[in-house]
Amino acid sequence: MLLEQARRRIEQLRDLHAFISVSDETGEGTVVAVKDLIDVKGMVTTAGGIILPNTPAIEDAPVVRRLREKGCVMVGKTNLHEFAYGVTSFNPHYGSVLNPHDHERLAGGSSGGSAVAVATGMCDWAIGSDTGGSIRIPSGLCGTVGFKPAFGSIDTTGVIPLSRSLDTLGPMAGDVATAARAFSMMTGDAVAEMPRSRPRLAVPAGWIRDLDETVSRTWSVVSRGIPEVEFVAHEPLFRHGLTILRVEASVYHRRWVAEQPEKYGPDVLGHLRDGLEIIAVDYEEARVARPELTAAAYAAMADLDALVLPSNAIVAPRVNAGNEVREPLARFTRPFNLTGQPVVSLPGPSNGLPVGIQVVGRTNAGALAAAMWLEQEWRDLVA
């Protein structure tokens, strides 16, 4: 893709609100869209809000610098849920990111603009961030592939944080092979390859519940014949992950919440104020529990290549959705931010709105390889 083609596409579909700003770069190369949490030299970083200084970044974030060394060009900064603190990409400042499959529905978040940019051909691939599901949720709702690598795989310097203990950068693409190549460019790791034999797969026992009709139909097709395995209980993973996120986000924003509350959207301001009420012992409990839960998760997968489970419990919510969709959209994503495991979300077979399926691995290459296998296996399936 050429930069000029990408910019024309962005302009044609501007009503989807996928981008906050478009670059004036020139040159040829792989066209990458960058979530507007990440510094790109010469462009303002807004984080989807209106509090940060309205001045261009003086240098690229390390991840962007590495991509330039690989011949990539940055087409622009994608829209997101304000400060990445939400699962819908509702944004009162730059317009809510709309789902390309139904413009009366939201794209999911927080990396909604990146998912829409990929889904509609505004770039070759995009960068997202993931703290509780922010790559995987919009990928699932928009019918794209999103990869949350193992925690710490990619340098987050030059990135506005949500929760420093959980934040992860990763690629969003049209298929798993492209996501694997993108991840290789972001890290220097070897490109993951298709495995020679079917991966050893399982479903975490007792986790899958309360799916809507469309997700349930797809899940019944893709899970057929995959055994269940005893895994870490869902509740402590979800609860401790949310506690860490809420506290660390509120610490970062505390001064602005006190001095400039009117500059936040009401949902994000509410989340930040709630986080300031969490007592220290609850945060410490979550922090201390994390290593043991993580070790137990990896131990439970000792004889497996990957877990398989839905990315979201519901399809893309309507544009007037509120906080009621927060839990079903993040139910199956948030636990793996606590464990730090690598996870691919890829489209499952669906005749209706897109349905994402997560592939949870023990290593980055293993998660991508298992996802490649399943992508091929599902190609001719119908839900």
Q: Which of 23, 111, 134, 165 is catalytic?
A: 134
pLDDT in tens, 322-340: 999 999 999 999 999 999 9
Whether the CB-CB separation of 133 and 100 falls below 8 Å is answered with no
| pLDDT for the residue numbered 370 | 98
CA–CA dist 356, 96 (Å, integer): 21
| pLDDT for the residue numbered 381 | 81
Catalytic residue list contains 134: yes
Residue ranges covered by each domain of the chain: 3-187
Q: Which of 23, 89, 96, 110 is catalytic?
A: 110
Strand boundaries in the chain, DSSP class E: 19-22, 30-35, 72-78, 98-99, 102-106, 125-130, 145-148, 168-173, 201-204, 228-229, 306-310, 343-347, 356-361
| pLDDT for the residue numbered 14 | 98
Backbone angles phi, psi at 322, to 5 degrees: -120, -150
| pLDDT for the residue numbered 13 | 98
Q: Which of 23, 35, 114, 163 is catalytic?
A: 35
Question: What global pTM score does this model have?
Answer: 0.97
Catalytic residue list contains 184: no
Burial string for 285-309 (b: 16+ CB within 10 Å, else e) reads: ebeebbeebbebbeebbeebbbbbb
| Fold that domain 3-187 belongs to in CATH | Amidase signature (AS) enzymes (3.90.1300)
Q: Tokens 């139904």 label which residue?
A: 102
State which residues of the chain have pLDDT below 70. Answer: none
| pLDDT for the residue numbered 296 | 98
Catalytic residue list contains 139: no
